[in-house]
Amino acid sequence: MRRLDHESVLVARTGGPPPIAPSVNNGRHISRWFWPCVVAIFVGSVTLGLLIGKGSLSNADLKDLFLTMRMQRVAVAFLAGAALAVGGVIAQGLFRNPLADPSILGTAAGASLGGQSVLLGTTILLHGRGPTAILPEMVTPLGCIAGASFALVIVLMVSARGASPITLVLSGFVLSSLFISCGSFLSSMAQENWELMRALSAFASGSVNGAGARQVILGAILVLGGALPAWLWSSSFDVLLSGEEEAASLGVNVNRVRLWAVIWASTITAGAVAVGANVGFVGLVVPHALRRFVGHTHRVMIPAAFITGGCYLVLCDVVCRAIPVRNEVSLAAITGLIGAPLFLIMLLRMHAESRYD
Amino acid sequence: MTEALLAESVSVMRGKRRVIEDVSVRADFGAVHAIVGPNGAGKSSLLRALAGLLPSTGNVKIEGQNLRALTVSERARRIGWVPQQSALASNVRVYDVVAQGRFAYRTGWSHFVPHAEPEIERALAAAEVDHLRERPYNQLSGGEQRRVLIGRALATQARILFLDEPTAGLDLVHVLRLHRLLRSLADSGTCVVSVLHDLGDVQRNADHVTLLSAARLVAQGPTHQVMVPTVIESVYEVRVCPNTAPGFQLREAAP
């Protein structure tokens, strides 16, 4: 059958296949010190979160109250950080773009606008007559999910037209600006109602100050409800890194995976925004820092981003509390100060690489 | 030989342009089947349509079953797909890339790909990339990357292997090694369907040829019947001259 004649004069010296290396570890290639370090960071950040803040723990009467308040604040910051970091991992896998992040793609701004719209809508519709059981915390998350999904779907449509990574980022920036403008417009409309205006502003404030048990429960439901299924589908995201055609050839139902990825990313981003932590760049900073330790495998990346993202925001919140100013420094200011320069460096590096491709 | 693939009257539209028109193809197990033709003839589009990766009309049967009746996972277990160049640009380990071939075999409610399966080891060995298993994919040479992608396709345990211009951009040594690998796969019973450009490679390595020109089928059959001067001259618009000058042929050195 084979028609290869063996009458060569010149012989290619390939030397045949190299000798087979002894079988090594299957599946894991991260350092054995990685997870102990993550646990140490978790314990350290939570301890700092409980110890640092206004008010002295030496006062026996107020110690329990301070600890409870700080614990709730630490829990909310942790959940929000975990959500934004995992949201970044999912978005980066979905768009195959290391610059994708809920705050950059407009997902967080969409969630914020969605929450604000629902809050305003329910207040106007009920006009004080509705059932008091419908608390803002119960209805606004639905608006946040809808807003985040809307933003992600628009960006996905831009991406489906073959947009470059930088075009995608610009589209997200435009969407973010649009949503923030709409949010400001809504806040202006609610000027007559001081309580409502304060609630609307809280969405855009980017602070976990004053977080209570309600926010902890709400955040836990939304964040875990999005992060856990995303982790279970991590192999689909791994295969999607090869592009849609290859993923389909390997058995990935691309449309279904994209749909669910949008739903989970929206749910967890909504979780972060609904508890008040509409802060930027967490989903950019944390996965970027983790990749050199855990690689690109989502099965490891998602839980690692969950824990370290949570710790990152808890530590950022500790910094907010530790800076001695009259009112606390905004959490969004700290994350922006760290994230924005990193984003710029990554953007310039990507631009330089694309020029030499 | 047993029939692996039977496609009848396949047509593909891209936008308003018909890139494949009424093409019928048959490929058997245990043979290397080449799809050839000038640039723009529709070779890659035909391969994608046969793999179910491009919408098409007509009837495609894979191992006797209608391609459209197969689920995405069933299709992945029957057809191994090797792209010309993977969109995978990240530093994923070679082992993990090959393990992705097991995606269609995942069980239960999670999407975790089972790791440490003997099929992954066999695929690494068959594609001769076992020694690269811990290396990041994006740091490999073009030839090594191509072999890793073949390993990933072999890990699917599909008995039909589709390759889109597997020798494009490869140096001489890697081209020779790749053809040796494809031949050994065919000898072990796999149906290898490959889009090829180099007619010399086709003559030396393919058992059957499907020749396309301007989206249409020109000729199909055993290589020695299709790749004849009159057909090549009419399709490629060249003049075929008998090789009277002393020449040489390249092959791999013995290990």
User: By the CB < 8 Å criterion, does B31 face chain A?
Assistant: yes
Is residue B131 exposed (0-12), middle (13-18) or buried (19+ Cβ within 10 Å)? middle
Element of type H or E holding A201: helix A194-205
Residues A42, A62: Cα–Cα separation, whole Å: 26
B87 neighbors B95 (Cβ within 8 angstroms): no
Tell me whether residues B87 and A236 touch, CB distance under 8 A.
Answer: no
**Domain CATH for B106:** 3.40.50.300
Is residue A125 exposed (0-12), middle (13-18) or buried (19+ Cβ within 10 Å)? exposed
A104 neighbors A284 (Cβ within 8 angstroms): yes
State pTM to two decimals.
Answer: 0.81
Chain A residues with CB under 8 Å of B77 CB are 251
- Does the pLDDT at position A335 exceed 80? yes
User: By the CB < 8 Å criterion, does B26 face chain A?
Assistant: no
Chain A residues with CB under 8 Å of B113 CB are 235, 238
B79, B89, B111 ranked by CB distance to A236: nearest: B111
DSSP characters for B130-189?
A: GGGTTSBGGGS-HHHHHHHHHHHHHHTT-SEEEEESTTTT--HHHHHHHHHHHHHHHHTT
Pairing of strands B3-14, B17-28: antiparallel
The whole-angstrom distance between B254's CA and the closest CA on chain A is 6
B143 neighbors B176 (Cβ within 8 angstroms): no
Q: What is the pLDDT of residue A125?
A: 73
Tokens of A130: 């509705």
How many DSSP H helices and E strands does chain A contain?
13, 1
For residue B95, being part of any structural domain is answered with: yes
B79, B88, B116 ranked by CB distance to A242: nearest: B88
Q: How much of chain A exceeds pLDDT 70, in percent?
A: 83
B12 neighbors B42 (Cβ within 8 angstroms): yes
Residue with tokens 């969109």: B87
How many DSSP H helices and E strands does chain B contain?
9, 11
Higher-confidence residue of B167 and A26: namely B167
For residue B243, being part of any structural domain is answered with: no
For residue B247, being part of any structural domain is answered with: no
Provide φ and ψ at B195, rounded to 5°. Answer: -85, 125
Residues A238, B205: Cα–Cα separation, whole Å: 35
Beta strands in chain A (DSSP E): 11-12
Give buried/exposed letters for A320-342 (b at 16+ CB in 10 A, else e).
bbeeeeeebbebbbbbbebbeee
Confidence of residue A310 (pLDDT cuts 50, 70, 90): very high
Q: What is the pLDDT of residue B116?
A: 64
DSSP characters for B97-129?
A: HHHGGGGGG--SSS-PPPPS-HHHHHHHHHTT-
Tokens of B236: 């490629």
Tokens of B3: 């029939």
Residues B225, B243: Cα–Cα separation, whole Å: 19
Q: What is the pLDDT of residue A96?
A: 83
DSSP characters for A56-123?
A: -TT-HHHHHHHHHHHHHHHHHHHHHHHHHHHHHHHHHHHHT-TT--TTTTTHHHHHHHHHHHHHHHHH
SS3 category, A45: helix
- Does the pLDDT at position A56 exceed 60? yes
CA-closest candidate to residue A258, choices A238, A283, A236, A226: A236
Task: Tell me the pLDDT tens digit for each residue of B14-27.
Answer: 888 899 999 999 99
CA-closest candidate to residue B99, choices B63, B66, B127: B127
Residue with tokens 């199909």: B220
Tell me whether residues A16 and B95 touch, CB distance under 8 A.
Answer: no
For residue B254, being part of any structural domain is answered with: no
Q: Which of residues 129-148 of B touch A (CB under 8 A)?
A: 130-131, 133-134
Which residues are CB-contacts of B94 (< 8 A; sequence separation ≥ 6)?
A: B124, B129, B132, B133, B134, B135, B136, B137, B140, B148, B151
* Domains in chain B, number: 1
| Residue type at position A60 | A
Task: Tell me the pLDDT tens digit for each residue of A236-294.
Answer: 898 988 888 999 999 998 888 888 888 888 889 888 888 877 888 899 889 988 988 88
Q: What is the pLDDT of residue A311?
A: 95
Sign of the C-alpha dihedral computed for residues B218, B219, B223 and B224 taken in this order? negative
Which residues are CB-contacts of A275 (< 8 A; sequence separation ≥ 6)?
A: A76, A79, A80, A208, A211, A215, A216, A218, A219
How big is the CA angle at A287 (ends A283 and A293), to the nearest 5 degrees?
A: 165
Query: What is the average pLDDT value for chain A, to the nearest integer?
Result: 80
Chain B residues with CB under 8 Å of A96 CB are 87, 89
User: By the CB < 8 Å criterion, does B68 face chain A?
Assistant: no
Q: What is the pLDDT of residue B246?
A: 67
SS3 category, A295: coil
Residues spanned by the domain of B217: 3-236
For residue B241, being part of any structural domain is answered with: no
Tell me whether residues B48 and A245 touch, CB distance under 8 A.
Answer: yes
Which residues are CB-contacts of A289 (< 8 A; sequence separation ≥ 6)?
A: A308
A97, A164, A238, A254: best to mutate for the B interface, most B CBs within 10 A:
A238
For residue B67, being part of any structural domain is answered with: yes
Supply the ipTM of this predicted assembly.
Answer: 0.89
Q: Which domains are delineated in chain A? A: 61-356 (1.10.3470.10)
Mean predicted confidence (pLDDT) in A328-342: 87
A201 neighbors A184 (Cβ within 8 angstroms): no
For residue B245, being part of any structural domain is answered with: no
Tokens of A224: 């875990």
The whole-angstrom distance between A165's CA and the closest CA on chain B is 14
Higher-confidence residue of B183 and A160: namely B183
Tokens of A163: 């947009």
A262 neighbors A149 (Cβ within 8 angstroms): yes
A234, A235, A253, A297: best to mutate for the B interface, most B CBs within 10 A:
A235
B73, B79, B251 ranked by CB distance to A4: nearest: B251
- Does the pLDDT at position B47 exceed 50? yes
Cα B180 to chain center, whole Å? 14
Residues A23, A197: Cα–Cα separation, whole Å: 63
Dihedral of the alpha carbons of A283, A197, A133, A126, in degrees to the nearest 10: -120
Distances (CA, A) of B235 to A174, B44, B54, B114, B130: 51, 17, 25, 47, 41
| Residue type at position A238 | D
Mean predicted confidence (pLDDT) in B157-185: 90
For residue B249, being part of any structural domain is answered with: no
Pairing of strands B191-195, B208-213: unpaired
Confidence of residue A215 (pLDDT cuts 50, 70, 90): confident
Tell me whether residues A297 and B92 touch, CB distance under 8 A.
Answer: yes
B100, B113, B250 ranked by CB distance to A12: nearest: B250
Task: Tell me the pLDDT tens digit for each residue of A22-43.
Answer: 333 334 467 888 999 999 999 9
Confidence of residue B114 (pLDDT cuts 50, 70, 90): low
Q: What is the pLDDT of residue A129?
A: 57
Tell me whether residues B253 and A243 touch, CB distance under 8 A.
Answer: no
Q: How much of chain A exceeds pLDDT 90, in percent?
A: 21
